[in-house]
Amino acid sequence: MKRNTYLVLGLLGFAALLTSCGNGNQGKGSSGALNSSNAEKVYVAPGEHDEFYAFMSGGYSGNLTVYGLPSGRMFKEIPVFSQFPTSGYGYSEETKPMLNTSFGFVPWDDSHHPDISQTNGELDGRWIFINGNNTPRIARIDLQTFETAEIIEVPNSAGNHSSSFITENTEYVVAGTRFSVPVPQADMPIKDYKGNFKGALSFISVDPEDGRMDIKFQILMPGFNYDLSHPGRGKSHGWFFFTTYNTEEANTLLEVNASQNDKDFIAAINWKKIEEYVNNGGGTKMPANYAHNVYSDETHTATSTMVKEVLTVDPTKIPGAVFFLPTPKSPHGCDVDPSGEYIIGNGKLSADLTVHSFDKMIAAIEGKKFDGEAYGIPILKFEDVLAGTVKSGGLGPLHTEFDGEGNAYTTFFISSEVVMWKLGTWEVIDRKPTYYSVGHLMIPGGNSRKPFGKYVVAMNKITKDRYLPTGPELEHSAQLYDISGGKMELIYDFPTHGEPHYAAGIPAELLAPKSKKFYKLADNKHPYATLGAADAKVVREGKDVHIYMSTIRSHFTPDNIEGVKVGDKVYFHITNQEQDFDVPHGFAVIGANTSELLVMPGQTKTIIWEPKQVGVWPFYCTDFCSALHQEMQGYVRVSPASSNIELSWSLGD
Amino acid sequence: MISTNYIKLLMMSFFILVLTFSCKNESKTATTPNSNNVGTEATEKQGQAFIADDGSTPNVLQIAIGSPDHTTLVAAVQAAQLENALVNAGPLMVFAPTNEAFAALPAGTVEDLLKPENKDALANILKFHVTAGNYSKDFLMKFKKLGQANDQNTTVEVKGEDVFVGGAKIIASIPAGNGIVHVVDKVMLPPSE
């Protein structure tokens, strides 16, 4: 066997020698591990741009990172659910309200599943949504500014995991709870979980003009775990599908007790029917308390509003709205193919994939072919809705994406591979190892009606030896496969930041032309803005001192300030006067217990400084803005609390 | 032995790559009928199972490899190319039949299973010896059945102090970095469906 291999290799080497120095007139369609053009496939020459943006969730970083494909270059980290030192997000007075919740200020969350807005089932590149998993929230990020524009908290939810997936016209962004909890929350014995806890699936409407989110209704489902979800599309538009596990409703040792049933369910929700029901006055308004935080590009300031009510829906009150599709082995991923016909449940402890048919599901519903019910919700017969089973030969399937050419790609965690298979025939076409233990995967547009099936990115949980060892903690590893040739070819790998749970990709040409380059100073409506250096001033209001400060290459106005006293609360309101792409200014003052700032052109940002010691204290620009950056500095004189020194400020006096 | 072959293979591959790259300006690599075979061969010995790591707690595969009583099992895992499935984060519970257990099968059974054409059948049997989970022998007494990695269930029976899984008795247990190895006295045969 081995000897044969060497012989083959030897012959091949000889063949390669012969052909590679030939007349340069080779045929197309080269493939295999020896293909020397892999480097060219991922090489983006200096000054050239990547073909795709990939938005990868940060997982435990709480943020969202932006990569180029095929180069794997990281362009940006967008702060979403976590304070971010680079820009001062979540530290500056303007952005602190973004992280407000009913639990108070939450500085760090766990971000999971990004999804890009769609129109007619195709990516429209207006916004990207992502869920905060721990303290349940959904964020909307504006893809013109790559900034978090809005965060809405989700009440009655806990472990916001089957989120944040959108319907095909971005009518809704959907957030399902992983943990069922008492609704409303109550002091009760944990062992009374079964039959008493509820799982809330929230449908959050998205305003088609400005993207503004609002919880339209919450469906209070039986107390299962709702793991992942995806919308119907095309003919199944109007439906939403959620995988469930722990239909046993165990409250302890789930690794044993949640694996007792051979089958759990995919919950099929006819949201159009429920929407109609609530539009006609259905549902129950329930007292609640959740934060709705909105950032304004005009005031450069976020506001946080507490909402006191939420509309809940009992699914058993709406005949025909919710059904259960039995699905084997604690299904994890729940993915819908581009045609909307196939709903794929990946039983994470299984070798096989279960594919349900939307048409068969509708036929079974119309024929009322039920196999009992769970808490009043009809269960369809497994055989009646099953389209097929993919006998993968892998172990531990998690997630599936689609290439738009009739193929699906599924990750297998335990056997560390991506398996490519054909929709309809369920035959395995190709399989490739990953390095190592792959979780999610992504094809740009891979969960829309129109995927861009050129690359698959596998997001691996374990890095081990892929890069130089840098201590116990390693960045996760992603792998890029070229799928343009009808098979998968591993062409590149690159490290990713945090733990990407899913990603969303889009052609750069759909985003880059719309990107905002700077904020117009004339449109700045911040109440403490300094729109010109002449407007710079310092105002005392009791112990609060407001410094209206402007920045331009290469000075602050003012840069000498006197009359500040120990015990004052000093607000530095910094307005960047630049009107030029990519010229931020930074601000740092010694002993600040808050943060530094990074202020984009045309923006105003604020930090609070509470001087505790008498002296003359410097501040400076932290962003290398110009040739005279090192000259961009100033002093604040801090006098004793009892001092009579008048407030004064100046530049160049 | 494996690693030596692997290095040879790598060196050979490298040699070919050098040749292929040597005239890069004029060339696009030619397609050859054998290139896919080469790709497959090269990936067989890749993955977590082939990382040199002496420092970490041994995983279930390393424990099996290190045991003189499990040379048949290890040979079978290698023949079925299941190495990489046994080294991931797990948790994995492996029921590891001893050489004696394999020897107790009807004459010729093991030899047959090790033939390349029976790779799938062998993999199915081996996966029937793997559970996603990590439970001690005592804890296993709480179970009636286990769901195995080949998608079939097996039974758990308690007789006095002894625990039988799929009819095989647990005779020793070794905790692993990614799960646990229970040494069993019989080969567990998957129920026919």
The residue from A489, A514, A539 where one domain ends is: A514
Tell me the pLDDT tens digit for each residue of A445-493.
998 999 999 999 999 999 989 999 999 999 999 999 999 999 999 999 9
In a domain, A640, yes or no: yes
| Interface list for A 306-325 with B (CB within 8 A) | none
Tokens of A362: 């509708």
The answer to whether residue A24 sits within a structural domain is no
- Rounded to the nearest angstrom, the minimum Cα separation between B27 and chain A is 5
In a domain, B190, yes or no: no
Nearest neighbour of B47 by CB, restricted to A8, A19, A433:
A433
Residues B84 and B168 in one domain: yes
Is A41 part of the contact surface with chain B (CB cutoff 8 Å)?
no
Predicted confidence at residue A36, as pLDDT, reads 60
* CB-based contact, A20 to chain B, within 8 Å: yes
**In this structure, are A646 and A500 located in the same domain?**
no
Considering the domain architecture, whether residues B107 and B147 belong to the same structural domain is answered as: yes
pLDDT at residue A2, rounded to an integer? 44
- Give me the mean pLDDT over the A365-375 stretch: 95
The per-residue pLDDT of chain A, averaged, comes to 93
**Looking at residue B55, what is its pLDDT?**
82
pLDDT recorded at residue B39: 37
Asked whether residue B192 is domain-assigned, the answer is no
Q: Do A416 and B41 touch (CB under 8 A)?
A: no
Residues B38 and B60 in one domain: no
Lowest-pLDDT range, A233-242, A343-352, A421-430, B98-107? A343-352
Q: How confident is the model at residue A349 (pLDDT cuts 50, 70, 90)?
A: confident
- Residues A395, B35: C-beta atoms closer than 8 Å: no
Q: Which residue from A6, A28, A416 is facing B84, i.e. has the nearest CB?
A: A416
**Could you tell me if B72 and B16 lie in one domain?**
no
Q: Is A330 on the interface with B (CB under 8 A)?
A: no
The reported pLDDT for the residue numbered B2 is 43
Neighbours of A208 (CB within 10 A): 13
Dist CA A573 CA A599 (whole Å): 10
Beta strand pairing call for A560-565 and A633-639: parallel
| Tally of structural domains, chain A | 2
Q: In this structure, are residues A301 and A105 in contact, taking their beta carbons and an 8 Å threshold?
A: no
**How many Å lie between the alpha carbon of B67 and the closest alpha carbon of chain A?**
23
Q: What are the chain B neighbours of A416 within 8 Å (beta carbons)?
A: 47-48, 84-85, 88
**With 60 as the cut, is the pLDDT of residue A8 above it?**
no
- Give the CATH number, domain containing residue B97: 2.30.180.10
What pLDDT shows up at residue A470? 93
- Taking the Cβ of residue A35 and every Cβ of chain B, the question of whether any pair is shorter than 8 Å is answered with yes
**What CATH number is associated with residue A566?**
2.60.40.420
pLDDT-derived band of residue A330, with 50, 70 and 90 as boundaries?
confident
- Supply the DSSP string of A562-611, one letter for each residue: EEEETT-EEEEEEEE---STT--EEEEETT-SS--EEE-TT-EEEEEE--
Integer Cα distance of A368 and A245 in angstroms = 25
Q: Which of residues 378-397 of A touch B (CB under 8 A)?
A: 393, 395-396
> Domain boundary at A462, A487, A514, which?
A514
Is B66 found in the same domain as B7?
A: no
CA gap A523, B47 in Å, rounded: 55
- Same domain? A445 vs A531: no
A433 part of contact set with chain B, CB < 8 Å? yes
> Is residue B193 a part of any domain in this protein?
no
pLDDT score recorded for residue A412? 94
- pLDDT of A273 reads 98
- Listed by number, the residues of chain A in 437-496 with a beta carbon closer than 8 Å to a beta carbon of chain B are 437, 461-462, 464-465
A418 and A548, same domain (yes or no): no
- Quote the CA–CA distance of A600 and A406 in Å, as a whole number: 45
Could you tell me if A515 and A535 are in contact, meaning their C-beta atoms sit under 8 angstroms apart? no
State residue A274's pLDDT score.
Answer: 98
Q: Tell me: do A308 and A359 sit in the same domain.
A: yes
By three-state DSSP, how is residue A465 classified? coil
Same structural domain, B67 and B97: yes
Nearest CB to B16; choose among A13, A255, A395: A13
A436 shares its domain with A388: yes
Residue A8 lies in a domain: no
pLDDT band at A438 (very low <50, low <70, confident <90, very high): very high
Structure tokens at A620: 């400076």
B11 and B98 share one domain: no
**Chain B contact for A7, CB < 8 A?**
no
Q: What mean pLDDT comes out for the span A509-534? A: 97
Residue A520 lies in a domain: no
Same domain, B7 and B89: no
Query: Does A34 score more than 90 pLDDT?
Result: no
Domain shared by A241 and A120, yes or no: yes
The two structure tokens encoding residue A278: 């609530």
Mention every residue, 6+ apart, whose C-beta is less than 8 A from residue A503.
A54, A55, A56, A57, A114, A440, A442, A457, A459
CB A356 within 8 A of CB A386: yes
Query: Which pLDDT belongs to residue A258?
Result: 83
Q: Indicate whether B6 and B93 sit together in one domain.
A: no
Query: Could A256 and B142 be called an inter-chain contact, meaning their C-beta atoms sit closer than 8 Å?
Result: yes
* Overall average pLDDT of the A488-499 stretch: 96
pLDDT value of residue A325: 97
Domain annotation covers residue A230 = yes
pLDDT at A224 over 80: yes
Q: How far apart are the CA of A137 and the nearest CA of chain B, in angstroms? A: 29
Range of the domain at A598: 527-650
Please give, rounded to a whole number of angstroms, the shortest distance from the CA of A260 to a CA of chain B.
9
Same domain, B29 and B68: no
**What's the helix, strand, coil split of chain B in %, to 5?**
40, 20, 40
pLDDT computed for residue B21 by the predictor: 41
pLDDT at A21 (0 to 100): 39
Quick one: A385 exposed, middle or buried, by C-beta within 10 A (0-12, 13-18, 19+)? buried
- Count structural domains, chain B: 2
Q: ipTM score of the complex?
A: 0.77
- Considering the domain architecture, whether residues A278 and A325 belong to the same structural domain is answered as yes
**Which of B21, B24, B38 is closest, CB to CB, to A32?**
B38
How many Cβ contacts (< 8 angstroms) between chains A and B? 161
Instruction: Inspect the interface and report whether the beta carbons of B132 and A349 lie closer than 8 Å.
Output: yes
Q: Are A350 and A328 in contact (CB under 8 A)?
A: yes
Q: Is the pLDDT of residue A417 over 90?
A: yes
- CATH code (residue A499): 2.130.10.10
pLDDT in the model for residue A26? 38
Q: What pLDDT is attached to residue A82?
A: 98
Q: Using omega within 30 degrees of 0 as the cis cutoff, is the peptide bond preceding A469 cis?
A: no
Q: Is residue A45 part of a domain?
A: no
Q: Tell me, yes or no, whether A183 and A248 share the same domain.
A: yes
Structural domain including B21 reads 2-44
Is the pLDDT assigned to residue A361 strictly greater than 60? yes
User: Between residues 494 and 553 of chain A, which touch chain B (CB distance below 8 Å)?
Assistant: none
Does some domain include residue B189?
no
Has residue B37 been placed in a domain? yes
In a domain, B98, yes or no: yes
Task: Give this prediction's pTM.
Answer: 0.89
Q: Identify the bridge partners of residue A402 per DSSP, sorted by sequence position.
A: A408
Query: Is the CB of B20 less than 8 angstroms away from the CB of A461?
Result: no
Tell me the three state secondary structure of residue A358. Answer: helix
Is residue A329 within 8 angstroms of chain B, CB to CB? yes
In a domain, residue A26? The reply is: no
A588 against B22, higher pLDDT: A588
Helices (H), B80-156: 99-103, 109-113, 119-127, 137-140
| B25 in the same domain as B112 | no
Asked if residue A42 belongs to a domain, the reply is: no
CA distance A586 to chain B (A): 43
Determine how β-strand A322-328 pairs with β-strand A225-231.
Answer: unpaired
Asked if A46 has any chain B CB less than 8 Å from its own CB, the reply is: no
- Residue of B16, B120, B129 for testing the chain A interface, max A β-carbons within 10 Å: B16
Mean pLDDT on A163-188: 97
Q: What is the pLDDT along chain B (193 residues), one digit of tens a residue?
A: 444 455 454 444 444 444 444 443 433 333 333 333 333 444 567 778 888 777 888 999 999 999 999 999 999 999 998 888 888 888 999 999 999 999 999 999 999 999 999 999 999 999 999 998 899 999 999 888 898 988 889 999 999 999 999 999 999 999 999 999 999 999 999 998 6
Assess whether A534 and A466 both reside in one domain: no
B46/A433 Cβ within 8 A: yes
Answer for the pair A119, A450: CB distance below 8 angstroms, yes or no: no
A352 in B contact zone (CB under 8 Å) = yes
Domain end call among A514, A543, A575: A514
Tens-digit pLDDT profile for residues A111-161: 999 999 999 999 999 999 999 999 999 999 999 999 999 999 999 999 999
Q: What is the pLDDT of residue B44?
A: 61
Q: Are residues B86 and B172 in the same domain?
A: yes
Query: Which pLDDT value is given to residue B20?
Result: 41
| Chain A residue closest in CA terms to B142 | A256
Q: How far apart are CA A315 and CA B144, in angstroms?
A: 35
State which amino acid sits at residue A591: G
Query: Is B191 contained in some domain?
Result: no
Distance to chain B for A267, nearest Cα, Å: 23
Q: What is the pLDDT of residue A88?
A: 95
Q: What is the DSSP string of A139-179?
A: EEEETTTTEEEEEEE-TT-SS--S--EE-TTSSEEEEE-SS
Please give, rounded to a whole number of angstroms, the shortest distance from the CA of A414 to a CA of chain B.
Answer: 6
**Which candidate from A26, A349, A395 shows the least CB-CB separation from B28?**
A26
Residue showing tokens 């531990």: A396
Rounded distance, CA A283 to CA A317, Å? Answer: 9
Residues A370 and A292 in one domain: yes
Q: How confident is the model at residue A15 (pLDDT cuts 50, 70, 90)?
A: very low
Residues A246 and A301 in one domain: yes
Indicate whether A105 and A208 sit together in one domain: yes
